Structure 1
Amino acid sequence: MGDHTLTRDDSGNPGEIEQTEQAVGYISRWFVQALFPYRKTDELVRQIQSGRDRVTVMSANGLPYGKYPRLIMAAIITTAVQRAGQVELGLMTPEEARRIPLGRSLDGFLATIGIASRGTGGARGNRTLIREQMRRLTSSIITVQKIYETRDQGATAPVAKRWDLWFDPAHPEQETITESYIELTEEFWEQINRAPIPIDLDILKALGRPRAMDLYVWISLKKYWLNKRPEKTFTFAWGDLTDQFSPKELKTTDDRMNFRKELRKALSDVAKLWPDVGVEATADGLLVHEGQPSVKIRTARQLEQ
């Protein structure tokens, strides 16, 4: 992965990326929608229904929420995809590959996911929150279903088989003797490596706001999808987008107007970091134009070079 220079203003708005080499990462299709809540909740279960598709996430320690689990999952999935390549080359066993290393210090892990650890105050709060999100993530179970009138298909995948986290907020820079890790379940490993979505990790980190992060991942997938279709554009209706990105049922006209306003703001944030994103908010929904994803599609000839 390459280096970028990221900036973000004090309000959390995305800044600019000075690109030297693209930081390519990966995310799973399961995380294309707003699977994790945007704000803290006491709920242990979240379910998203879109047409015949239903995705459910459960966590005994409470649902992961906000931007941090999105950054953590992107880091974990990226490492998992890279280690799957090592398995194919015979350099690592599947059991070894599923054990995802997280480093020997909390500050080191924070740097990996793009979180500054300078200072005390707010930084200490970030460290405590990261530990809490790790607890919530490691105990999460994801179920994906396709529901028909006469048939029900699905798969359930706990994220982690086991984990060992030695991160100490009181001594975040202190390195431990043994490395923290998450060992992914075979089911989760299989799902995330089946069809990983390439993303620009630095765009994801710079966005900062969870709705904008989800929208960026969703657009990335739709760009790949549209490039395989005869149409040059496709409009995704507001009703379908509500299923994907609204954390609650929109019961009133004001609810629907506010949702569209928030999604337009998220699209504006994405466009600042991805100027040729090629997506417009219209009266009907989001109009996606054919074009390259933020991680450009490579031809077979390019892959051989």
Structure 2
Amino acid sequence: MARFQRLAEQASSLAELREEIESRGAKSAGEVSFMSSVLVQATLPHSDPGDVDAWGRTNGDLSLYIQPGVEKQEDGTFQSLGYPYGSYPRLILIWINSQVARHGRRRLDLGESLSGFMEDLGLQVTGGDHGTVGRFREQMRRLFGAKIGMIWGRPGREKRRAAVVADELDLWWDPKDPDQRTLWESSVQLSKPFFEAIRKRPVPADRRILREIKQSSLAVDLYLWTTYRVACIEEPLVLSWQQLHDQMGADYAEVKHFAAEARNHLEEIALIWQDLEYETPRGRLKLYPSPPSVGKLVDKDGEE
């Protein structure tokens, strides 16, 4: 009984959000975010890949791979920082892409406190061994230390591009006191190759939807991918769950488990984004051409 009550409350909340979005678009509400189209087509891991030299994901001719950065130990040795995975790196990347799209700068100010930056991303700030602060800071260090590469390959041709995310990082935050303000603002300077790669054809998204689904990295991936794809297709796009699993859900041991999770998240997203048209015939996802979640944005001179 309690479960059905929670589901009813969630449906009511999503319906209210849908009405808000329908009455006021993301641009007029100041709620537009951006994500690199490359990172929408091939996504980060959902769970920790573990101790491997490189991790990758493939979508058609495009393959994305990640290699972790390193950190210095107290004994002077160096070891892997580990891979960025889950929701936190995705939300940070969305923030980065949004800042780049708006301001066109490589150096980004992260603010005077860790809690302030987390709140800017719509995250709860909790301490302790099982709190959000430690996990968020760890994922942020992993992301900024990582090297991300893309390979475009087809018979007779191959193109590669790779870059560290940041070539400079200044963190003055104390993870034990996330509210503490410092004399100097923390900042990150994106590497030039990474900066140039993510600023091309960014995908606009509604920050209000992202805040609602931010707990699930798969939901975030599905939302960004669907709003990107519906704007590109002229005929219905049909993919098997196996194909979609290989593209964005390779961390699931069985395709049927991925498909069940994906269907649940798509239902949730469709309750908020009313224009999303799709079907899930047996073993497949059928996506119909429809208006994207956030329409084309034009500047004051009328340029896209």
With the length of structure 2 as denominator, give the TM-score of the two structures: 0.81
The aligned residue for residue 144 of structure 1 is 150
Distance 1:272 1:24 in 2: 19
Deviation at 1:193, TM superposition (A): 0.9
Deviation at 1:295, TM superposition (A): 0.5
Distance 2:89 2:148 in 1: 14
Distance 2:186 2:299 in 1: 38
Hey, which bits of structure 1, 4+ residues long, moved more than 3 A? Answer: 13-16, 119-122, 298-304
Give percent identity, aligned residues only.
31
Equivalent in 86, 108, 114 of residue 106 of structure 1: 114
Quickly say closer, same or farther: Cα 1:100–1:24, change in 2 above 3 A. Answer: same
Cα deviation, 1:260-301, whole Å, max 9, x if unaligned, reads 112111212212322331122222522112221110235799
The aligned residue for residue 4 of structure 1 is none
Deviation at 1:151, TM superposition (A): 2.0
Deviation at 1:201, TM superposition (A): 1.7
Quickly say closer, same or farther: Cα 1:205–1:300, change in 2 above 3 A. Answer: closer
Give yes or no for contact 1:27–1:73 (8 Å, CA) kept in 2: yes
Task: Please state if 1:224 is matched with 2:231.
Answer: yes
Distance 2:265 2:224 in 1: 12
Task: Give 2:257's aligned amino acid.
Answer: N
The aligned residue for residue 58 of structure 1 is 67
Quickly say closer, same or farther: Cα 1:152–1:126, change in 2 above 3 A. Answer: same
With 14-23 and 47-56 compared, the bigger mean Cα shift is at 14-23
Structure 1 gap ranges (5+):
1-8, 85-96
Cα deviation, 1:78-129, whole Å, max 9, x if unaligned, reads 0011112xxxxxxxxxxxx200111010111011100122x6558x721111
Give yes or no for contact 1:36–1:63 (8 Å, CA) kept in 2: no
With 275-284 and 285-294 compared, the bigger mean Cα shift is at 275-284
Distance 1:220 1:138 in 2: 27
Distance 2:147 2:300 in 1: 39
Matched residue of 1:114: which SS?
coil
Matched residue of 2:177: which SS?
coil
Quickly say closer, same or farther: Cα 1:201–1:139, change in 2 above 3 A. Answer: same
Distance 1:281 1:301 in 2: 41
Task: Please state if 1:76 is matched with 2:96.
Answer: yes
Distance 2:300 2:189 in 1: 36
With 295-304 and 195-204 compared, the bigger mean Cα shift is at 295-304
Matched residue of 1:182: which SS?
strand
Task: Give 2:289's aligned amino acid.
Answer: E
